[in-house]
Amino acid sequence: MKTLLMILTLVVSTTLGTGYLAKAQDSSTKKPAGTTGITFFQGTWSEALAAAKKQKKLIFVDAYAVWCGPCKFMANNVFPDKAVGEYFNKNFINYKFDMEKGEGPEFARKYQVNAYPTLLFINAAGEVSHRQTGASDAAGFLKVGEAALASTK
């Protein structure tokens, strides 16, 4: 009986948790009009590279997994921050990449993403200019962005 109860609890929590995790990541990519925070590029990786070249900007990549707690923290608390949005939208092409879906596994192999979140700053040629692994608060994340820009000068 205990085994059956444990299995049932696991199934229910997994089912409910999956919807929550997907919502947590979607919250930063589909913002209602008038909200602040990072605006993520809606296109393919090759289109993001082309935009970076045209605009002469680095690409900030949020390499995440939907089950990752620190990734959810960043999506819910840091990416929506007004100051973070203003800085990152001005200075970077912002891109989210689920490392377990679509082109994500190939991207993870190419850019050696082994932990989540991995925050990459990639130039238009596809080369990493700055990298950080792990979550931070808004102030710390702004410092990561500043360090990324400084590394290109």
Query: Mapping DSSP to helix (H, G, I), strand (E, B) and coil, where does residue 135 land?
Result: coil
DSSP 8-state assignment for residue 74: I
Which among 68, 99, 108, 142 is annotated as catalytic? 68
Question: 116: domain range?
Answer: 2-150
Whether the predicted pLDDT of 27 surpasses 80: no
d(CA 33, CA 39): 11
Q: Is there a catalytic annotation at residue 71? A: yes
Q: What is the mean pLDDT of residues 123-138?
A: 96
Query: Mapping DSSP to helix (H, G, I), strand (E, B) and coil, where does residue 138 land?
Result: helix
Q: Is there a catalytic annotation at residue 68? A: yes
Number of domains present in the structure of the chain: 1
What CATH number is given to the structural domain containing 115?
3.40.30.10
Q: Contact 78/96 with Cβ under 8 angstroms?
A: no
Whether the predicted pLDDT of 49 surpasses 60: yes
Tokens of 127: 């080369």
State which amino acid sits at residue 118: T
19 vs 143, which has greater pLDDT?
A: 143
Which among 21, 63, 71, 120 is annotated as catalytic? 71
Is this structure's pTM higher than 0.85? no
Q: What is the mean pLDDT of residues 47-68?
A: 97
Question: What is the band of 153 on the pLDDT scale with cuts at 50, 70, 90?
Answer: confident
Q: Which among 22, 74, 40 is positioned nearest to 48, based on CA atoms?
A: 40
| pLDDT on residue 106 | 96
